[in-house]
Structure 1
Amino acid sequence: MSDLAAPAAARVDLPTADLDRRFYAHVVDRAVAWTAYAAAAGLGWWLLPGPGVTVARLLLVVGWFVVVQVLLAALLGLRGLSPGKALLGLRAVSASTGRPVGVPYALLRGLVVAVAGLPTLFLGAATLAWTSAADRDRQRRGWHDHLAGSVVVDVRPVPEAGPEAEARPRAIVNLTAMRLVPTPPTPPRAAPSATPAPTSPPPPTPPRPSGPPPSAPPPGTSPPRTPPPSTPPPSSPPPSTPPVSPAPVRPARPVEAPAGGWVVHLDSGEQLVVDGLVLLGRGPVGRAGEEVRHLVPLRSQDMSVSKTHAQLQVAPDGALVVLDRGSTNGSVVIRSGVPRDLAAGTPLTLLDGDTLRLGDRSLRVVRQG
């Protein structure tokens, strides 16, 4: 049976149904069936004479039970539907062909489910649910599915919007990370001064002209000192001005998750702030045109982590979204101790404290208060 599960997923090209939706569909199916059984019993009690439980009344209830099971099996075997599956957008198809399983296998599957319900005080139903959750093929096929060769898939149009949901987070610009980058200081500009104060030795006195002086000083007096020119000659170095210290720039703080931000705690002890598109895998590589913020390589002892296994991204509303990027062994979200498999290409919103398992590696997401 496990060898037929992988081709079915490729042929049907539909994600496997979640266990919670299958449970709700099962509840609807049982409610419809039990309503029919109760109506048959009430009708027999009213129409057939005799006190207590008579043979005629018992035969009516048993006959109506067989009719209801045959009708449900015909609907499931020919269309892959039941009342609950039709309501919740699910369909049961063959794991080998991707088509409906047929009436005989659907009848066998329906009888197993019916006997596992009320006659066993729902212990059988719980056992079937456990076999579905523990399916090693990650197709969530219970014992009744393996017996009938069926797999339950999700036919809702939501998975078709997976590429759009994947492309939407890529266009996010993290303004918080941009605010953490310090503004480069502008070069200081010295204010013009009419007479700058010289801080270096005065420039040398220019040579006297060779001609006679215009006027000779009177005897007994010293010649006047030639004042330094206000503007230095081109050949002399310009007077240096005291350096103007720029305005103090606040040093950039280390990148930390702001209030309401998300931090990823890897099982190796490392921490990462989700401030953009984060790719996780054995050797993650972004697609063409992707604005990848972080590439997080995860070493795998048993090669159970794919090259580009999954991605993390913060949505515009601040929620953290995980997406399995078609990994070989799949991704699992553990919430309150309950594991949940991720459908490839379908985004899922993570909650504070969730654990994400990628092959033999795991990480925990924490939202800062």
Structure 2
Amino acid sequence: MIWEIDERARTIEGLDGAGRPRPEYAASLGLIRAPYGRRVLATVIEALVLLLVQLPMLLVVLPAVTGAALDADPVAALAGRDDLVLLIVLGAASSVLSTAFVLVQLILLGRRGVTLGKALTGLRTVNVRTLERPGFWRGAVVRYLVMGASMLVPLVGPLLVIALSPLFDPARRGRSWADLAAATWLVDARRGLNPYDEKRMRIARKTVATDLLDVKTELPSLATPVAPTGAGAYVPLARNKGGVLGAVRSTPGNVVIGETDAVDDEPRSGIPTMVAPAPFATPDPAPAAEPPLPAGVPAPAAVAPGAIVAPAAGAAAWSPPPLLEEPAAAPPAPVAPAAPQAAASVPPMATPPTASDAVALTLDSGDTIAVSGGGVVLGRAPATGPGDVDVLPVPVVDPTRSISKTHWALLRQDGRVVALERGSTNGSVLVRGGAEQALEPGRPVEVRDGDTIRFGDRHAVVAIR
């Protein structure tokens, strides 16, 4: 038996067509660039620790060696010192401790993206392309070589390479020249996602990769249509590890619901397909057959519906032949009226808005969004759909990531102002007068002045003037 080994290259997420990292992908995962102040503080801490380790060498050994070098016979002058053994011990200790400190820094940086200064300031270093550990040779050794080379020009070199170069990053990600050479990126693990928290990082990647609305073009339906004439519109309802639970509206009277497979267009085996009739599609009852007329009785003339016709003079009233008598059914028992229940939806509008009214949204943060043109669509990174005309995407900051990339929209349709849920993960709720109504994906709901739309952990108040 011949075993074939899959040698396909690993697919790296978050790269553009040229293989360059996309900053918006890292931002969608929750990664935040390291603030400039803490970057400098981390470098200063590491430099102070290294200086502390080097103090015996700088304060004791170096002055003694310098004084002996100025003597006519440096070797004899150094060998004749009474503290020669102490100088050797202090010099060896400083060298060993400095080497150990730098080596530990390199290993921690290459394996875990952290050093002593970064651990104290809550920063982490990742590979800028893979957003994983930077690696020992390029991510750690090359970085420290560039930083060490900057020391060849005292004061100016470290100031330019370490302190000032992050301010001139063309991608505005705060990467220094050492980061550019090592292909690394410094992120804030306190305010943002820790890239070395494997569980949270895996969930963030799956959330971004499986976002149902992260598409730019209209995709074909994955469900089997009822009628062979058309595929209809695909409406995502839920998702799980096996696929997408969706509905296809192919005819006005039927909806096909079933779990679909991305390989073929048939419903997944083991999951039945249900055909549900439309809620208001009631077939007309078939007309009952009329009894035949007796011999000699002329057929009645055609009469327009609703017309009143008087019987002809001298004509006897004709009645159909008697049917077999059946026992009279008992009169139905009176049914007590049901107790009134609380309304499941919000109360109706008093006065609908007009197309000339000014519409605005006030977020819980206090920001006001003017709704002009065809409307606005909100989310972490919203995208307009194929049917959106003159609709403006408005991104909403959400540190808890409770909002989908494209969550909901406030649109003007046929002189109305409607809220439209775009199939988000956590859904949207319309709040009016203390009553709440969950918005169904793809179904517009008319709103009025003072209504509140709750989406994720955020909410917005509609103002119509």
- Give the alignment's TM-score, normalised by structure 2: 0.32
* Structure with the higher helix share, 1 or 2: 1
